[in-house]
Amino acid sequence: MLDLEIINRFSRQIVLRDIGLEGQERLRESTVAIIGVGGVGSPAALLLASMGVGKLILVDRDIVSLADLHRQFLYREEDIYLPKVEAAEKRLKEVNKDLEIKVYPEPIYNGNVDEIVGEADIVLDGLDSMKARYILNRAIVRHRKPYIFAGAIEMYGNISTIIPYETPCLECFYHIEDEEGLPTCATVGVHPSITSLTAAIEVVEATKYLVGGEPQLKNKLLYIDLRGMEIDKIDVYRDEECPVCGSKPRGKPKEVRLEEIELSCARDGSGIYFVNKVYGEVDLDRVRDDILRSGWSIRRVSRYSVTWDIDNVKGATLLRSGVLIGRSKRHSGDIPSYFLELHRSLTEEAIQTR
């Protein structure tokens, strides 16, 4: 039962015929996983925390940067260099002290996706990589969990509600073999309004499902064009030959896995490299001592990370999960090898769990 304080707090949404007292109770008992807490995922997390969802699972491998702040309103200047999940956890607890939060300072990948999806009642998309989305999509189908696909770039957004075996899965209607050459926030930009609007619609669809209502974007893809001020809703259909969810699959799905090291969008004047090696937990105190012995200057230490400057490159952050984020002011061919070796040298003696 909801107590009087909770009823007063959420009174303006409880009176909605779409939610009511029973719906508010369902929200409080729900667990929502948000995969990626950047431009779309962070406003979605803020909305869900404010609405009284009981538990959020936040997954992100990145840190807060100056270039994020114009659209990722969950974060502040004081959060720069903090892991996004760490900064998000702190801010969301300020919004709703009763909210339970579980964080994964790491990418979504084949080693953690089943655990995360299995624990959630619904999964929300905050990703910027189709490869990561396909890893997620396949777990969604395996576990038969609902998934709100959402993406935003420039002044355009897409949203669709995926219910395994009731609707098409993501790979039925959105299949891209190669992401190279696709537009990114760094190359074409992104308007803060499109990320916020996309997140808002994603949350509406998710909360409809959680309170027992009917999502409006099942078997639909919503397309938003803020430049032309147009919104269109397109029918999407299950592919019965889909290798992931089809009743007559045309072979097995192609294997999808994260690369050992990935070059991401440049930001704050640096090329960004992710070393996607996840160990479960790394002893950051030991790593910090090794960094200081190497003569490097530490910029920030937190519960989940240590960030430092490197004179001949620019700097790096090591997350407690084992992920390394390298920042480089030069783009020569030896940079990936440099960050891989740096990662190896710092983590080989500091791994606590695998």
Report pLDDT digits (tens) over 307-326.
999 988 899 999 999 999 99
Domain boundary among 186, 219, 235: 235
**17 CB-near residues (< 8 Å, 6+ apart):** none
Least confident of 24-33, 53-62, 115-124, 276-285: 276-285
Whether residue 216 sits in one domain with residue 271? no
d(CA 290, CA 80): 23
**8 CB-near residues (< 8 Å, 6+ apart):** none
The pLDDT of residue 189 is: 87
First to last CA, the chain: 41
Report pLDDT digits (tens) over 147-175.
999 999 999 999 999 999 999 999 999 98
Domain boundary among 235, 252, 273: 235
d(CA 144, CA 118): 9
d(CA 222, CA 117): 24
- C-beta of residue 182 within 8 angstroms of C-beta of residue 259: no
The pLDDT of residue 350 is: 85
The pLDDT of residue 190 is: 93
Task: Say if residue 98's pLDDT is above 80.
Answer: yes
Domain boundary among 235, 270, 296: 235
The pLDDT of residue 353 is: 63
HSE-CB of 185 using CA atoms within 13 angstroms: 24
Whether residue 279 sits in one domain with residue 180? no
pTM more than 0.85: yes
Total domains in the fold of the chain: 2
Confidence band for 352, pLDDT divided at 50, 70 and 90: confident
Q: Does 46 reside within a domain?
A: yes
Whether residue 283 sits in one domain with residue 208? no
Classify residue 301 by burial, with Cβ atoms within 10 Å: 0-12, 13-18, 19+.
middle
Q: Does 248 reside within a domain?
A: no
Q: Does 345 reside within a domain?
A: yes
Query: Which two three-digit tokens encode residue 232?
Result: 């269109």
Task: Say if residue 200's pLDDT is above 70.
Answer: yes
Query: Which amino acid makes up residue 306?
Result: V
Mean pLDDT of the chain: 94
Whether residue 266 sits in one domain with residue 217? no
- What are the backbone dihedrals phi and psi of residue 224, each rounded to the nearest 5 degrees, phi first? -115, 130
Report pLDDT digits (tens) over 31-48.
999 999 999 999 999 999
- Which range of 53-57, 178-182, 252-256 scores highest in mean pLDDT? It is 53-57
Q: Which residue has the higher pLDDT, 234 or 1?
A: 234
Whether residue 186 sits in one domain with residue 48? yes
Whether residue 223 sits in one domain with residue 269? no
Which helix (H) or strand (E) segment is 125 a member of? Answer: strand 122-125
The pLDDT of residue 244 is: 98
Q: Does 245 reside within a domain?
A: no
CATH number at residue 281: 3.30.310
Confidence band for 285, pLDDT divided at 50, 70 and 90: very high
Q: Does 240 reside within a domain?
A: no
The dihedral through the CA atoms of 139, 143, 124, 6 has a sign that is negative
As a whole-number percent, the residues of the chain with pLDDT over 70 amount to 97
Whether residue 286 sits in one domain with residue 219? no
Q: Does 253 reside within a domain?
A: no
d(CA 152, CA 225): 10
**74 CB-near residues (< 8 Å, 6+ apart):** 37, 42, 43, 45, 46, 87, 88, 91, 92
Task: Say if residue 354's pLDDT is above 60.
Answer: no
The pLDDT of residue 2 is: 85
Residues annotated as part of the active site: 185
Residue 221: which domain range? 4-235
In angstroms, what CA-CA distances link 276 with 105, 177, 259, 309, 343? 11, 21, 7, 20, 10
| Mean pLDDT on 102-109 | 98
Query: Which amino acid makes up residue 212?
Result: G
The pLDDT of residue 182 is: 73
Q: Does 242 reside within a domain?
A: no
Task: Say if residue 351's pLDDT is above 90.
Answer: no
Whether residue 126 sits in one domain with residue 22? yes
d(CA 118, CA 139): 9
The pLDDT of residue 181 is: 66
Whether residue 336 sits in one domain with residue 273? yes
Whether residue 217 sits in one domain with residue 287? no
Task: Say if residue 270's pLDDT is above 60.
Answer: yes
Whether residue 83 sits in one domain with residue 193? yes
CATH number at residue 83: 3.40.50.720
Q: Does 255 reside within a domain?
A: no
Whether residue 180 sits in one domain with residue 41? yes
| Mean pLDDT on 244-269 | 89
